[in-house]
Amino acid sequence: DAMPSLECANRRIAQKVQLDFPITCGIDQAGRGPVIGPMVFCLVGCSPGQLKELEALAVKDSKALSPSARETLFPEIKKVAIVETRMITADELNRRMGGENLNTIEMKAMAELIDRMAGERTVYIDSPDPNPLRCASRVLSYCAGKNVKIIAEHKADAKYPVVSAASICAKVQRDNEIEKIKKEIGYDFNSGYPSDPMTIGFLTKHMDDSNVKKYLRKKWKTLDKIRQKQKTLGEF
């Protein structure tokens, strides 16, 4: 994803939503744990007036909503707020995790989204780091822009409507990407999480298929465990 210039970002903001500064933003992600498919990060940005409209939608942490409720809320959120998305594919994760851990990749993605917005920003983040203060400091260090205040907390997606909205937008877009992958490869692997028996059954049969491999996170131990199990079974 090419990061647009601040000039382009400002023009898009003016076209979509009339925002006054300061802007309140929330960032969250969907798809940190799965072994299949992308991670999707979303930033939702609101002026004070737009924030009230967002709160009126009664957004919640995406995990507390049904898929149909998330699908209904997603376009409503886009009507009253700026929504920016950064998708990190399995292939990008495979390339970057040789030198960066997952938390670093996450925090840099958050900083990219923050830099797409201009002006004075207060940003609430659902912290991937056990130490939220360290998380806020690191994300800020990756930001190119100034006038940014970052507040990182655990379970921020349940506390702050802008983060709840970001979690909904990320989850809907991640789910849509997973459905596209299923159609392309011709298999329903269910969720893509290592704890999902249907996912593990699918991987056991198809993880070496050429049209499947590009969607697999090769740094996840799940694939090694399946190969080891296959090898052990093959010895009997």
Give the pLDDT of residue 235: 55
Residue 6: pLDDT over 60: no
Phi-psi region of 192 (alpha: psi -120 to 50; beta: other; left: phi over 0): left
User: Please, where are the H alpha helices in 120-160?
Assistant: 132-142, 156-159
What's the whole-number mean pLDDT along residues 135-148?
A: 94
Over the stretch 68-77, which tens digit does the pLDDT of each residue have? 999 999 999 9
Rank 12-16, 141-145, 169-173 by mean pLDDT and report only the highest: 169-173
Local confidence band at 185 (pLDDT 50, 70, 90 cut-offs): very high
Local confidence band at 162 (pLDDT 50, 70, 90 cut-offs): very high
Separation in Å, CA 126 to CA 27, 29, 53, 222: 7, 8, 22, 26
pTM for this model (two decimals): 0.88
Beta-bridge partners for 150:
123
Output phi, psi for 44, to 5 deg.
-115, 125
Nearest to 170 by CA among 112, 104, 83: 83
Nearest to 69 by CA among 163, 162, 167, 182: 167
Residue with tokens 């049969």: 205
Contact 61, 158 (CB under 8 A): yes
Q: Which amino acid is at 200?
A: I
Over the stretch 56-71, which tens digit does the pLDDT of each residue have? 998 988 988 999 999 9
Give the pLDDT of residue 84: 97
Give the pLDDT of residue 99: 94
Cα separation, 185 vs 208, in Å, equals: 12
Residues with Cβ within 8 Å of 97's Cβ and at least 6 positions away in sequence, in order, are 105, 219
Beta-bridge partners for 46:
24
Name the burial class of residue 158, with classes exposed (0-12), middle (13-18) and buried (19+) by CB atoms within 10 angstroms of its CB.
middle
Cα separation, 118 vs 186, in Å, equals: 42
Which strand (E) or helix (H) includes residue 49? helix 48-56
Local confidence band at 234 (pLDDT 50, 70, 90 cut-offs): low
- Indicate the range of 24-28, 116-120, 188-192, 214-218 predicted with least confidence: 116-120
| Percent of all residues in the chain with a pLDDT value above 70, rounded to a whole number | 89
Give the count of beta carbons closer than 10 Å to the beta carbon of residue 3: 14
- Indicate the range of 53-57, 144-148, 207-211, 231-235 predicted with least confidence: 231-235
3-state secondary structure of 170: helix
Give the pLDDT of residue 19: 54
